[in-house]
Each structure stands twice: as C-alpha cells, then as structure tokens.
Amino acid sequence: MTQGSADLGPEVRALLGPLEDAIAAARRVRADNADFLDRTRHRGLRPEERDLMERAAESPGAPESLRRLARRVAAGDLDWADVFSGRAGEDGTAFREAALHTARQHWATAEVARVEPPREALDLDVDPETTSAAIDADLGNALLRGLQR
C-alpha cells in the first residue's frame, strides 16, 4: 500500500489494492528481468558461442567487420564479450549493424505459417493482427537494443 493510501477511507483503499498489487508485481518482474540481464551480460560468452563466432569469422561470406574483430580477438586486444557489450569500438558497431541488417533481411523474407488465434482470445476481443504486430515490434526493438550495446 502506498504511503498516502493509508490516509484514505476503506472503500478507496479497497479500490486501490488491486492496482497497488499489479504495480508491485510489475516491479518484481522488472527487477527479475534486470537481474537476468545483469547475470547474462557479465557471464561472457560460453565456449560454444566463442567457437561459433570464430567459425563465422572464417566463413567466406563473413563481413569484413567480423573478420577484423576476429583478428583483434585472436591478438588479445579484446574478447567477444567486449564485442557484444559495445566495448569494441567502430568495428564492433559495424559488426552489430551488419548483423542487424542480416537479421532483418532474414526475417522479412521468412515464410511463417498462419496460426489461428485461440477462441478464448477472440472471445475477449483481442485483435490477433494488432497483437502480433506489437509482439513483432517488441522483439525487433529488443534485438536492436541488444545489438546496439
């Protein structure tokens, strides 16, 4: 309960209770998400992820930015965690931008089978097209933020 709500009458407190519970739950989710992001950012890349990056850099179709980063990693100037946390300078920025461009091209042309929305959603007047577009936008924005770090 907020500090000021203790001064309110019981009817108002009863109305505010569910809202305050929802706010507290949202704050817990936000804190859990922040903890998860903090743990994953600080753990660095797993060996299999590092191997994947090194193999990708050796691929004939690898962007030059990735090849430059791989050379810097091999020389010990930085590591792959630096690249993904935004500490690899212009090469890192160029690589993340190329990766985002490639991801957008891939997703823009991907064939996705239509899935009928659940009857329960339709009964609640949920617009599947709007909801799907919002989810796509959220995922795209999350990817963009991750690549821009």
Domains contained in the chain, number: 2
Q: pTM of the entire structure?
A: 0.45
User: Are residues 55 and 36 both part of a single domain?
Assistant: no
User: Are residues 69 and 112 both part of a single domain?
Assistant: yes
User: Are residues 59 and 104 both part of a single domain?
Assistant: yes
Instruction: Quote the pLDDT of residue 79.
Output: 84
| CA separation for the pair 137, 119 (Å, rounded) | 24
Cα dihedral 121, 122, 124, 128 in deg (nearest 10): 70
User: Are residues 114 and 100 both part of a single domain?
Assistant: yes
Burial of 114 (0-12, 13-18, 19+ CB in 10 A): exposed
Instruction: Quote the pLDDT of residue 71.
Output: 92
User: Are residues 38 and 51 both part of a single domain?
Assistant: no
Which sign, positive or negative, has the C-alpha torsion 131, 105, 90, 61?
Answer: positive
User: Are residues 83 and 61 both part of a single domain?
Assistant: yes
User: Are residues 37 and 65 both part of a single domain?
Assistant: no
Compute and round to an integer the Cα radius of gyration of the chain.
23
User: Are residues 103 and 33 both part of a single domain?
Assistant: no
Instruction: Quote the pLDDT of residue 102.
Output: 76
User: Are residues 77 and 98 both part of a single domain?
Assistant: yes
Q: Are 66 and 56 in contact (CB under 8 A)?
A: yes
- Distances from the Cα of 4 to the Cα of 1, 8, 123, angstroms: 8, 7, 38
DSSP of 76-107: TS--HHHHHTT-SHHHHHHHHHHHHHHHHHHH
User: Are residues 70 and 130 both part of a single domain?
Assistant: yes
User: Are residues 34 and 51 both part of a single domain?
Assistant: no
- Report mean pLDDT in 10-residue bins for the chain, 149 residues: 62 83 88 77 74 87 87 90 81 83 70 68 66 65 58
Which range of residues forms the domain containing residue 116?
45-148
**Residue after which a domain boundary falls, among 13, 28, 43:** 43
